[in-house]
Amino acid sequence: MTELHGATDAQERAQQILAAQAQPLWNLGQVTVLVHRLTTPERDRVLSLISGTRVIINGLPEGSPYTQFQGIVEGWSETYANDQHLLTFSLSDPRASYQACAWDEVDVSLTWENVDPTIQWYNVVVPDDLIGV
């Protein structure tokens, strides 16, 4: 949460947003789940997703810059046809949604010596982002 008490606070927050979006991010955008092909536990997990939930998409096809994408559920649409249930999630990069890692998600054994001294908090989406290279 950001508290804005005046023009200086608003300007500082605007600068943080510009810095966070200064570098292009690869975005998956949408992913369609074939709900009718899921097991009952898989279906229950998928149907429990709500806006703001973090999801990890594994096994991305060749040509994508990553093998995994972590996104934030922004919304969804459903299609039912010919005994099929398709659920299409709209996803965004957590940095574009300004969702950062929470302190309680960080391993308690992590010490400051192991934290990347140049990291900006808005780029810490998962605890591993804190670790210096």
pLDDT recorded at residue 2: 53
Q: H or E element: which one contains 44?
A: helix 40-47
Q: Which residue has the tokens 């927050």?
A: 13
Question: Does this model's pTM top 0.75?
Answer: no
Give residue-wise pLDDT tens across range 4-34.
Answer: 677 887 787 777 777 666 665 667 788 999 9
Query: What residue segments make up the domains of the chain, in order of their start?
Result: 25-96, 100-133
Residues of the chain falling short of pLDDT 70:
1-4, 19-26, 95-102, 121-122, 132-133
Rounded Cα gap, residues 53 and 72, in angstroms = 6
Burial of 94 (0-12, 13-18, 19+ CB in 10 A): buried
Main-chain phi, psi angles of 31, to 5 degrees: -140, 135
pLDDT recorded at residue 92: 84
pLDDT recorded at residue 96: 67
pLDDT recorded at residue 36: 95
Structure tokens at 104: 């309680």
Q: Which residue has the tokens 């670790």?
A: 131
